[in-house]
Amino acid sequence: MNVKGLDAAALSIRSLSMDAIQKAKSGHPGMPLGCAELAAMIYGEILNHNPNDPSWINRDRFVLSGGHGSMLLYSALHLSGYDVTLDDIKNFRQLGSKCAGHPEYGVTPGVDATTGPLGQGISMAVGMAMAETMLAEKFNTKNRKIIDHYTYVLLGEGCLMEGVASEASSLAGHLKLGKLIVFYDENRISIDGSTDITLTEDIATRYQAYGWQVLQGSMYDYQQISDLVEEAKKDDRPSLIMLKSEIGKGAPTVVGKSAAHGAPLGEEGVKAAKEFLGLPVDKDFYVVPEAYEYFASKKDEIAKKYDAWQEEFKAWASEEKELKSLWDSMMSGNPVDVEEKFPTYTTEDKLATRAASGAMLQVLEKMYPGLVGGSADLEGPNSCKLKSCSYFSANDRAGRNIHFGIREFAMAAITNGLYLHGGLKPFCATFLVFADYMKPAIRLASLMKLPVLYIFTHDSIYVGEDGPTHQPIETVTSLRTIPGVQVLRPGDAQETELAWLMASESKDHPVCIMLTRQNLPVYEKADSDWKKTIRCGAYVAYNCEGEADVTVLATGSEVSLAIDAANIAKSKGKNVRVLSVLDRELFANQPEELQATLIGQTKRVVTLEAGIKTGWEQFVKLKDDIISIDTFGTSAPFAKVAEYFGFTPEKVAEKLCK
C-alpha cells in the first residue's frame, strides 16, 4: 500500500474540504476532516470503479449516508478523477454548482444516491445490495460473473440513531446481504454535543443481533482498514466496520468537539489547521501533488479491471443471446412483447380497484422482467403478489416478490435503492394511511427523479370498521403536494389498468396508485375515446344531454358515487356531467381551453373526493361546492361511515340539486 500517496490524498481532502466550506461560509467540516484517511482508502484502494464511467453497472457503490459530509465526497471524487473540477469545488453550495450542499444523485458524477436526510442513505444501500444479488442471480453464468460488486456506506451516529436505519439494517441482516459493508465513523459526537447524552446502547451488540458481522478498528490505520474490509468480504453477513475517529481531526480549534460538525472553521481556525497539518497557509484549495500522482498511479489498474469486465461482458453477450436480450430490456426499463393480455371488464363487473391492480400486475410482471417489489406485511390486502414468482430471500435471490416486513419507511428507502442500482423496476405497497411512514423516502425518490411505484390500497373512509386510524383523509392530498410525485386515483377496474400503464411508463418520477378495498362498479364511459383523453388527467365519464347545470369533478371511488347521484339529479330535472379525475394535478396543469372543454358549458362545478378540501378550491366558484371530508373518519361498517359523511348518492344528489 502506498502510504505516502494515501497520506497526501487525506491531507488534500482536508485542505479542499476546509477551504470550500470556508469560502461558502457554510458546510460541515467535522466529518471530512475526521474521515479523510478512509475516503482516500475507499477511492484509492477499496472501490472497484471507473471515474470515466460513473454509471458502470458493475461498479462498487458508495453511499455517503451522512450526506452533510458532502465535501469529503466531492474532494475524493475530484482527486480520484471524476468529473468534479477544482472550480466545481470552489463553487461548493453555490447556485447551479455540481457540488451542492448535500450530495445529489444526477447532479454530480460519482454520487450514487442523494443523501442528507439521515438514515436514508444506509437504507438505500440495502436496496442496492439486494439489487446486486438479484441481478447476479439472473445474469451470472457458470463461467462468467457479470454482476459482482460490493455496496459500501459511510455513516455516523446520526444515521445509527434514525429508526429507518434500524429497520433497513434488520432486514439486511435477515437477508444476509454479505456484500454490504458499512463503515461507522465512531467519533461519538453529533450536533448537540457528545452522544453520551443520546446514544449509549451497545451498537456492536445491536448490529450483531441484527445478524451482522461487526468489526472494529481505527479510522487512521490504512492497513487495518484494508484487513477489515477483506474480513468483511469473507463473511456472508453484512458487515459493520466501527472505526474510532476524531471529529474535525487536524483542526486544533475544534477537534473532538461538536463545534467541528457543522460550521466553517473561520479564518483563524483554517490557518491553525493548515499550520498544524503542514499545509501552505497562503494557498487556498491546495492539493498535495503526490495526491494527484497517487490517484494517477491507480489509473492503469482501474482500466485493466474495467476492460477485463468489458471483455467478459462481450463474451457473455455472445454466448448468452437470450440473457443478453433480457439484460437489454431490464437495463432500458422498456417493456418486452408478451402474449398475455390485460384482463377485460364489462359494466357487469363489480370489483375493488385493488383487485384489478392485482390482476394487472400479473401481466406487468411479464412485460417488465425487472419488476420486483412487495408489501410491508400486507401482501394479500394490497393484492400485490407476482403470482408466478418466488420470494426473494437469503436462499432465493431469484425471487421477485419481497417481504419487507412491517418496515414502511425502510421499504420506501430500499425501493429507491433497488431502482438506483439499475436494471430493476421496483414497487412497494401498503395501506394508504401508512404512506406517511414512507413520505421522506417518497420525497427523495421524487428529488432523484426515480420512477418507483407505490401501491396504496384502502384509500378512503370506506375502510370502515378499522376506524379513523386507518382511514386516510389528508393523505391523497399530502402526496399530491410533493413536487414531481404523480398521484393516480382510478375510479374503476378499467381505469386502474390505464393508471398502471401510465405509471409503468414513467421514466423520471415516482407514481402513487390509490386503490380501493371495496368493490366498485365498472361504468360505461361517456367519452368513447376515454383511454386517450384520460392521459390529460381527466375525462368525461358520464354526460347529460345538452348543457350541464352541474359538472362534478370526482376521483376514485367517488366517480361511481357521482354517477349515481347524477342519475338521481336527472330524475329531478338537473343536468349533470361527471368527470373522472384520475390525476388532479395533471388535469389542473392542462391548458385552460382543454379544461374548459372537459368541464363543458356549465353553471356550476362541484368537486367530490372522500378527503380534505385542500387543492379543490381552484375548480369551484363557491367553497360549499367542494364535497370533502375535513375531519378524521370514524369507526363503523363502511356503508354507515359513508352515510355519516354524506357520501351516498342521495345526499350528493341533494347537493347537486341545490
Ligand X SMILES: Cc1ncc(C[n+]2csc(CCOP(=O)(O)OP(=O)(O)O)c2C)c(N)n1
Q: Rule CB under 6 A: which residues touch ligand X? A: 30-31, 66, 68-69, 116-118, 156-159, 162, 185, 187, 189-191, 247, 261
Residue 272: name the closest of 249, 253, 248, 246 by CA: 253
Residue 445: name the closest of 404, 483, 407, 399 by CA: 483
Cβ-based nearer residue to ligand X, 19 or 246? 246
The CB-of-158 to ligand X minimum distance in angstroms stands at 3
- Residue type, position 648, single letter: T
Compute the distance between CA of residue 30 and CA of residue 138 in angstroms, rounded to an integer.
Answer: 42
- Judged by DSSP in three states, 195 sits in helix
Residue 127: name the closest of 322, 374, 368, 293 by CA: 374
Cβ-based nearer residue to ligand X, 44 or 116? 116
- Residue type, position 26, single letter: S
Compute the distance between CA of residue 204 and CA of residue 579 in angstroms, rounded to an integer.
Answer: 58
- Residue type, position 471, single letter: Q
Contact 626, 644 (CB under 8 A): no
Compute the distance between CA of residue 147 and CA of residue 134 in angstroms, rounded to an integer.
Answer: 9
Catalytic residues: 408
**What does DSSP assign to residue 423?**
S
Cβ-based nearer residue to ligand X, 9 or 189? 189
The CB-of-309 to ligand X minimum distance in angstroms stands at 34
- Judged by DSSP in three states, 536 sits in helix
Contacts of 634 (CB under 8 A, 6+ apart): 461, 467, 468, 471, 641, 644
Cβ-based nearer residue to ligand X, 194 or 310? 194
Cβ-based nearer residue to ligand X, 1 or 191? 191
CA atoms within 13 A on the CB side of 615: 21
Cβ-based nearer residue to ligand X, 159 or 435? 159
The CB-of-260 to ligand X minimum distance in angstroms stands at 8
The CB-of-119 to ligand X minimum distance in angstroms stands at 6
Contact 546, 491 (CB under 8 A): no
Cβ-based nearer residue to ligand X, 404 or 409? 409
CA atoms within 13 A on the CB side of 649: 12
- Judged by DSSP in three states, 377 sits in coil
Which segments of 487-583 does DSSP mark as H helices, in order?
Answer: 493-505, 530-533, 557-571
Cβ-based nearer residue to ligand X, 159 or 448? 159
Q: Is 519 exposed, middle or buried (0-12, 13-18, 19+ CB in 10 A)?
A: middle
Cβ-based nearer residue to ligand X, 241 or 356? 241
Contact 449, 462 (CB under 8 A): no
C-alpha grid cell, residue 640: 354507515
Rg (CA), the chain: 28
Compute the distance between CA of residue 592 and CA of residue 606 in angstroms, rounded to an integer.
Answer: 17
The CB-of-192 to ligand X minimum distance in angstroms stands at 8
The CB-of-38 to ligand X minimum distance in angstroms stands at 12
| Widest CA span in the chain | 89
